[in-house]
Structure 1
């Protein structure tokens, strides 16, 4: 994901986020993420081995017993967790995830009926999944309070990876 904000032909702010996750049989194996926020580069490397998660990132290294899942939101199993690996910061966030109502969500592939889930705690986001458990939307407030929304552009295929 790339974002460039400009004014009068000058770039005032850039944000690039790239994350690659590898899953096997619905279980994460590895996540590699890189963030470039206006030249401030952060990285996250996470590896799952058996029941252990090892994370190395710009803010240091840590390990945890699974079931910590990443915040790439593609796998709906994250909805049953109380701790998540934040793929932007590399930190472990304690969260409460509460189901909300079914809503009609606009996506790049047309409107979808999807249930909203609200993350509260150390991470505040709303995520929507359709009836088959496929991610369709993500919304949160940026650092400056600006609403940020992501929607799926190709909403198909098998859910949960």
Structure 2
């Protein structure tokens, strides 16, 4: 697999890394703790997992993200490991600490709120970002309202364009779930689905001719939302 394909795979994996089912900013007034787990499929076969756990302590929301993937594209093997911790006060990101292992390449980012800026110290970018920027972790529905994201792998500031495709019915855990489908293009190219309450329920993308899909393992009701 080319270095370009590997880079795209890991960017999307870390993200892995907007009608009636459409969500508005008022749909979720406060963060709801919970845990969501996706099985990552490549061409229909399991290659990994993506887990997001959200908890609250006083006025701070803590988020832990773990992604593990391993498989082959043709004769070339790949492995990917991502760990990230986010801290939020209300809708404000206060800190971010992530590490990323892509085959033999390591990346990381630490970011902290200081005044009107998020100070970023990453392998891909060091400097200030606006305090309003959101990380590319996708669990927060408001992420799809952004035109620029903080890359959770290395701290780069990534420009994206998001369009709502429409409403669909997904089969999750044997139940029909109405969800809004969004297409993200730019520095990140992926498709995302959120249910009527803003919970993240699916991701799909293609890399090097391979189709990747997130199959939700945990129930929708147990999933976190902002």
Instruction: State the TM-score, normalized to the length of structure 2.
Output: 0.61
Q: Distance in 1 between matches of 2:94 and 2:174?
A: 29
User: Equivalent residue for 1:14?
Assistant: 79
What SS does the corresponding residue of 2:152 show, helix, strand or coil? Answer: coil
1:59-138 matches, cutoff 5 A = 59-107=124-172, 110-138=175-203
1:133-148 matches, cutoff 5 A = 133-142=198-207, 144-148=208-212
Q: Distance in 2 between matches of 1:34 and 1:83?
A: 21
Q: Distance in 2 between matches of 1:71 and 1:103?
A: 23
How large is the Cα RMSD of the aligned pairs?
2.2
Instruction: State the TM-score, normalized to the length of structure 1.
Output: 0.83
| Structure with higher strand content | 1
Q: Distance in 2 between matches of 1:48 and 1:118?
A: 29
Is 2:92–2:132's contact at 8 Å kept on the other side of the alignment? no
Distance verdict in 2 for CA 1:107–1:41, change over 3 Å:
farther
| Structure with higher helix content | 2
Report which structure shows greater RCO (CA 8 Å, sep ≥6): 2
Distance verdict in 2 for CA 1:151–1:67, change over 3 Å:
farther
Distance verdict in 2 for CA 1:38–1:112, change over 3 Å:
same
Is 1:107–1:137's contact at 8 Å kept on the other side of the alignment? no
| Structure 2: gaps spanning 5 or more residues | 1-66
| Structure 1: gaps spanning 5 or more residues | none
